[in-house]
């Protein structure tokens, strides 16, 4: 596989992702057994990753995957006549009801499963990632991921986790769970740096999942909010790293590299969602990012609006990290002293968070305390494992 150019890997990933979830949903519909359907899909995906780089992507990749899964299913289910008979009847093309995929997503993200298992299952079943790909993306051993999946599948069967779209009165909480999984994937991918550039692009998987969910639940404003948030970040991705793979802070980014069309489109998506008047944390976060993205230049940033949006966000989802970000916005609206006063109230809650110390360092520098600033930067440096952030902090300690 190593001889295959990177573009082919991306193409493979895209095609597999396009069809794996569909296949899982169809198999689930036929066998009614989550663990079996999941195994068969994974087998088909592994076969595809083995054959396609050599033989090329087939004309009908979905039919190819289906054939492999069906053949494999007839083989492994030899002793289970019930499934076998159903599987034998299954003919191509199968057109799963769109709700099937939604059921699949809700089952993978059931709150009775631990978060890490929700993530691994969603990636494997809905996006068609292999265990090895998930392990590489999260920098954990493959056996750990395999164990999480095995345990989660056993729990789904043994605990009676249902395969269906939650009832109306539960939908809100359950959707929050699904969005939480997608958001975490997005974050994980967003924070990963050049070091992991060769591994799976999790931000793209998050974008794809959010977009699938938006397609399946077009009237849910928070789904649209999360999709807009991811699109806004992606639209500016080209400016986030310099040629050496170093992180470029927002203020220094070359805004001509931003995809203005994509930003405008995300803005429209957000505006449509806002019309429903059901604000939520993802819509608000996206709105904050939109304020940054829509500013022509750094000095055009509408800080007043941003502080207002942070206030709304804090009202819905209070968190010390959000308060810290609000303090940064306050710095641009009311100056470093006002920001420092707010930041000081977070000392206890965020003492172990590197960005808290890095933010303090910036404010201390502006307030004319370079020694204290360096000390704060040093604490931040010790607290982060991210090489791109380490580089920036090291530079600041040395040069300012």
Give the long-range contacts of residues 78-86, CB within 8 A, separation 24 or more: 83/30, 83/31, 83/33, 83/36, 86/30, 86/31
Minimal distance, residue 256 CB to other proteins, in Å: 51
Task: Say whether residue 168 binds other proteins (CB under 8 A).
Answer: no
Q: Give whichever of 22 and 36 is closer to other proteins, judged by the CB atom.
A: 36
Task: Say whether residue 170 binds other proteins (CB under 8 A).
Answer: yes
Q: Which stretch binds other proteins (CB under 8 A): 97-105, 154-162, 328-336, 345-353?
A: 154-162
Task: Say whether residue 159 binds other proteins (CB under 8 A).
Answer: yes
- Torsion on CA atoms 119, 120, 126, 130, rounded to nearest 10: 150
Minimal distance, residue 176 CB to other proteins, in Å: 15
Q: Give whichever of 166 and 225 is closer to other proteins, judged by the CB atom.
A: 166
As a whole number of angstroms, the distance between CA 233 and CA 239 comes to 10
Q: Which stretch binds other proteins (CB under 8 A): 34-42, 139-147, 158-166, 193-201?
A: 158-166
Footprint (CB under 8 A) of other proteins, residues 177-236: none
Encode burial over 319-342: b for 16+ CB neighbours within 10 A, e otherwise: eeebbbbbbbbbbbeeebeebbeb
Footprint (CB under 8 A) of other proteins, residues 109-148: 110, 112
Minimal distance, residue 160 CB to other proteins, in Å: 4
Minimal distance, residue 10 CB to other proteins, in Å: 38
x/- map, 344-383, other proteins, by CB under 8 A:
----------------------------------------
N residues, the chain: 400
Q: Which stretch binds other proteins (CB under 8 A): 47-55, 93-101, 159-167, 331-339?
A: 159-167
Binding residue for other proteins (CB under 8 A) from 145, 161, 223, 328? 161
As a whole number of angstroms, the distance between CA 133 and CA 355 comes to 29
Q: How far is CA 34 from the centre of its chain?
A: 23
Count residues binding other proteins (CB under 8 A): 11
Q: Which residues bind other proteins (CB under 8 A)?
A: 110, 112, 158-162, 164, 166-167, 170
């Amino acid at each position: 596989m190593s001889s295959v150019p990177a573009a082919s890997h991306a193409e493979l990933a895209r095609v597999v992702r396009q069809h794996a979830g569909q296949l899982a949903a169809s198999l689930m519909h036929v066998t009614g057994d989550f663990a079996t359907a999941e195994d068969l899909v994974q087998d088909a995906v592994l076969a595809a990753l083995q054959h396609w780089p050599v033989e090329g992507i087939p004309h009908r990749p979905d039919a190819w995957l289906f054939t492999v899964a069906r053949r494999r299913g007839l083989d492994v289910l030899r002793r289970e006549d019930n499934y076998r008979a159903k599987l034998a009847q299954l003919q191509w093309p199968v057109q799963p009801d769109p709700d099937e995929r939604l059921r699949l997503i809700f089952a993978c993200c059931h709150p009775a499963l631990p978060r890490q298992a929700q993530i691994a299952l969603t990636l494997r079943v809905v996006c068609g990632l292999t265990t090895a790909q998930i392990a590489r993306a999260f920098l954990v051993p493959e056996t750990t991921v395999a164990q999480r999946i095995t345990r989660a599948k056993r729990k789904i069967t043994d605990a009676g986790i249902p395969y269906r779209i939650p009832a109306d009165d539960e939908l809100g909480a359950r959707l929050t769970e699904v969005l939480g999984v997608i958001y975490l994937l997005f974050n994980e991918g967003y924070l990963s740096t050049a070091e992991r550039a060769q591994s799976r692009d999790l931000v793209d998987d998050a974008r794809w999942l959010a977009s699938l969910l938006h397609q399946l639940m077009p009237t849910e404003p928070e789904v649209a909010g999360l999709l807009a948030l991811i699109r806004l970040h992606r639209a500016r991705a080209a400016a986030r790293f310099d040629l050496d793979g170093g992180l470029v802070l927002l203020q220094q980014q070359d805004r001509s590299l931003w995809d203005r069309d994509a930003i405008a489109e995300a803005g429209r998506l957000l505006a449509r969602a806002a019309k429903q008047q059901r604000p939520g944390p993802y819509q608000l976060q996206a709105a904050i990012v939109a304020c940054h993205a829509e500013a022509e230049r750094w000095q055009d940033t509408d800080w007043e609006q941003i502080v207002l949006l942070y206030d709304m966000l804090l009202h819905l989802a209070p968190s010390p990290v959000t308060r810290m970000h609000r303090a940064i916005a306050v710095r641009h609206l009311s100056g470093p002293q006002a920001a420092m006063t707010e930041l000081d109230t977070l000392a206890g809650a965020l003492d172990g968070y590197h960005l808290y110390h890095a933010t303090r360092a910036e404010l201390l520098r502006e307030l004319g305390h370079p020694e204290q600033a360096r000390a704060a930067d040093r604490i931040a440096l010790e607290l982060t494992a991210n090489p791109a952030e380490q580089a920036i902090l090291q530079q600041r300690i040395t040069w300012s």
